[in-house]
């Protein structure tokens, strides 16, 4: 077997090797039962136990209050762009959105199909290089919720602190969920695609306050109602069984690391190593303003596009994969989610220093 490379991809992203090894065994012979994990009926007692354990670990790690549901849905986080307003808004109802990147912009477009949407802040003109402070915007009167993306993968920005608002918060946490403690009780809905910090692609975790289950209009299709899935414990239709299983294994791994608070310290240390390398030379330039910098996705540029292309190519040749920046801003991007090892960050920094010396 070839030596593992360092996967800096923004998603699907690197997973703990121990989880991959466990899944490799269980996908062929689950718990020595003579049947593969992906062959199990989703209604079997074996898989029901998997789903219950996964939910329980998420609740434990995020300290989810009892009056919240944890749902395992499909369609990616992108499906939540319309499910949220479809379930929470209706004729004449308002919501306020913060436009801090490509994913919030897509969510705004979908939300406008269902309600009166006020965009209270946008950093689009500065290529989304920052997120707002509370003083940069005001929430529209009578808004049902304030919607924002906690971490922006493309641009490398992140809310260091969650908005302070009396209006209910709704957040897309796809790229930084479980990377730091969060007060779930301040949110009406939190959702996240699994493929960055939680597991493989295929399942979207939605954490939803109970009282919101009956908000939708009768015209909302059955499959697109949160209540449909809450009433059936995410088993209304066949769920993405393998992805749910893997999320559970990653949650178990995260618990072994010391939980979310411990992971936050690790993430701060990893990001600090890389940002120090960027700030220590004029050869590299970070895209995000310092106060808005992400601990998960670090976007940066070199002096010229030609040098960026050479950097990405030479990095790939020595085992650093996925460093090409998003096409909308170019440059480079290192995604260092929970499971990304600190030694990989240090080795990238060493490579960066050597590349700058040779090409500066």
Task: List, by residue number, the catalytic residues.
Answer: 103, 172, 196
Dihedral (Cα; 211, 217, 223, 225), 10-degree rounding = -10
Token output for 135: 């003083």
Angle between helix axes 305-317 and 342-359 (nearest 10 degrees) is: 130
Residue 257 contacts by C-beta under 8 Å, 6 or more apart in sequence? 263, 266
- Tokens at residue 214, please? 């009956």
**Neighbour count for residue 4 (Cβ, 10 Å):** 12
- Give the residue from 316, 276, 278, 270 showing the smallest Cα distance to 295: 270
Which segments within the chain are labelled E, that is strand?
6-7, 68-73, 94-99, 116-122, 143-149, 151-152, 157-158, 169-172, 187-193, 204-209, 285-286, 297-301, 320-321, 332-335
Torsion of CA 78, 84, 86, 89, to 10 degrees: -150
Q: Residue 174: which of 25, 11, 7, 322 has the closest Cα? A: 11
Instruction: Give the full edge-to-edge strand order of the sheet including 204-209.
Output: 68-73, 204-209, 187-193, 169-172, 143-149, 94-99, 116-122
In 3D space, the residue among 281, 257, 222 whose CA is nearest the CA of residue 339 turns out to be: 257
Q: What are phi and psi of 338, to 5 degrees?
A: -45, -45
What's the sign of the alpha-carbon dihedral 324, 330, 332, 334?
negative
Residue 196 · residue 336 · CB < 8 Å: no
């Amino acid at each position: 077997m070839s030596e593992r490379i360092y996967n800096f991809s923004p998603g699907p992203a690197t997973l703990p090797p121990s989880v991959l090894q466990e899944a490799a065994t269980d996908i062929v012979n689950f718990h020595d039962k003579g049947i593969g994990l992906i062959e199990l009926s989703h209604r079997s007692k074996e898989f029901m136990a998997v789903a219950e354990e996964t939910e329980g670990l998420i609740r434990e790690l995020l300290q989810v209050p009892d009056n919240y549901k944890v749902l395992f849905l499909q369609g990616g986080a992108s499906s939540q762009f319309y499910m949220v307003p479809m379930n929470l808004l209706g004729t004449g109802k308002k919501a306020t959105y913060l436009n801090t990147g490509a994913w919030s912009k897509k969510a705004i477009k979908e939300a406008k199909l269902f309600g009166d949407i006020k965009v209270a802040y946008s950093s689009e003109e500065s290529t989304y290089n920052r997120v707002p402070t509370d003083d940069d915007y005001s929430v529209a009167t009578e808004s049902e919720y304030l919607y924002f993306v906690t971490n922006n993968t493309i641009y490398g920005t992140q809310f260091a602190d969650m908005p302070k608002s009396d209006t209910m918060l709704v957040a897309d946490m796809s790229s930084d969920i479980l990377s730091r403690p969060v007060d779930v009780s301040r949110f009406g809905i939190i959702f996240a695609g699994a493929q960055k910090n939680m597991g493989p692609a295929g399942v979207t975790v939605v954490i939803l306050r109970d009282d919101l289950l009956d908000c939708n209009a009768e015209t909302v299709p059955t499959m697109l109602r949160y209540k449909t899935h809450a009433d059936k414990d995410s088993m209304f239709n066949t769920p993405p069984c393998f992805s749910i299983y893997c999320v559970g294994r990653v949650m178990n791994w995260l618990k072994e690391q010391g939980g979310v608070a411990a992971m936050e310290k690790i993430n701060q240390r990893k990001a600090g190593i890389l940002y120090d390398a960027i700030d220590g030379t004029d050869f590299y330039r970070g895209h995000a303003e310092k106060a808005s910098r992400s601990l998960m996705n670090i976007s940066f540029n070199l002096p010229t596009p030609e040098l960026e292309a050479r950097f990405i190519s030479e990095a790939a040749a020595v085992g650093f994969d996925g460093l090409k920046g998003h096409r909308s801003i170019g440059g480079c991007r290192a995604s260092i989610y929970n499971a990304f090892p600190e030694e990989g960050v240090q080795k990238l920094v060493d490579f960066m220093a050597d590349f700058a010396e040779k090409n500066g």
